[in-house]
Amino acid sequence: MPFEELRLNQFVSKGLVLHRINYGEKDRILTLLLNDKGKVRVLAKSVRSSKSKLAGGIELFSESTVGLAKSRSELYVLTSGRLDRHFGNIAKDLQRTMLGYELLKIINKLCEDGSGEDFYPILVSSLEGLDGVGIDKEVTELWFNVQVLHEIGSLPNLQTAPNGTDLEQANMYSFDYDTQCFAPNDRGSFTQNHIKLLRLILSTKNPRVLVQIENMAELVPATHKLSRQLIELHVQR
């Protein structure tokens, strides 16, 4: 490609690495989520070389500013990479690392090439949550799951029971998977406070806010379990 054409087809974006595989002797093929263009696949030439100046700007669990150029193939070409934020505490804990990989995997599967930029702030905030040593990883996963379910239009009805009555008219609830609603049930596992927590999560921009909620430790187990089940139901892993 002539130099003039290459320069015209270059652009710079904020990006997160969703997946990477080795290619050839020194290259990598990256799957990036960009804040303005969604998911793209990128050829990172010679980044596995010890002399590469690009490798440090495309780390997992990091937010970077990347320069990309269009090519004649379906892959973009990485032209520059600058590490802006590295969420280094994630890799210090095996369980947080495994959860981090799982969140990346979910977003990768949900996004088609050239789309998915609306998931970008969700993923950034989730990585911030996993990086925060004072935040329980289940709280971060719960926040992520609820935000993703809302984004794909699969969040349960948090306002009314299956019969249309207001949810605040009963003390205990079970979850009805057929109607995706909370149903009044004296032997149910959910209280009004569980439902209020799920509503609150929708209005927060970061899981760190949830740490301030009283009785959070009592509310997380049931809501976390439900959110994982709903993600598995609606998102093919």
| pLDDT computed for residue 5 by the predictor | 39
| pLDDT computed for residue 7 by the predictor | 53
Q: What's the DSSP call for residue 103?
A: H
Q: 98 to each of 23, 63, 104, 130, how far by Cα in Å?
A: 24, 18, 10, 11
User: How many whole angstroms separate alpha carbon 148 and alpha carbon 48?
Assistant: 33
Tell me which of 117 and 215 has the higher pLDDT: 117
| pLDDT computed for residue 51 by the predictor | 77
Instruction: Please state the pTM of the whole predicted model.
Output: 0.91
| pLDDT computed for residue 47 by the predictor | 82
Residues forming beta bridges with residue 191, ordered by sequence position: 172
Burial call 106-130: b when 16+ CB within 10 Å, e when fewer: bbeebbeeeebbebbebbbbbbbbb
Mean pLDDT along residues 158-181: 91
User: Which uninterrupted H or E stretch holds 80?
Assistant: strand 76-86
